[in-house]
Amino acid sequence: GEKRPVNGIADRMKVLSAMKCVDSVMCFEEDTPLDLIRYVRPDIIVKGGDYKAEDVVGFDLADVIIAAMIKGVSATSIIEKSRA
């Protein structure tokens, strides 16, 4: 929506890069990351729990892990709290 992303790209990349299990974080400006996925050839693609593996761009090029959603921790809940 119009208030998204809640956090800027630099902050989001910093948070992801700080995770021990993450080797690399890249941003892209295209509509989908398909060209980047084909170029980088990652072992794993991780998406949020609101996705199905077969709907993830590049699902046929890498293993897809769907990360569980944590109740109350989402962009939607941050936006709703800021309105209160």
Q: For the residues 13-24, what does the mean pLDDT come to?
A: 93
Instruction: Output DSSP code: residue 9.
Output: H
pLDDT of residue 27 exceeding 80, the answer is yes
Q: How crowded is the C-beta side of 76, counted as CA atoms within 13 Å? A: 5
- Give the separation between CA 61 and CA 56, rounded to whole angstroms: 10
Q: For the residues 58-74, what does the mean pLDDT come to?
A: 91
pLDDT of residue 13 exceeding 90, the answer is yes
pLDDT of residue 1 exceeding 70, the answer is no
- Give the separation between CA 66 and CA 70, rounded to whole angstroms: 12
pLDDT of residue 50 exceeding 80, the answer is yes
Quote the pTM value. Answer: 0.76
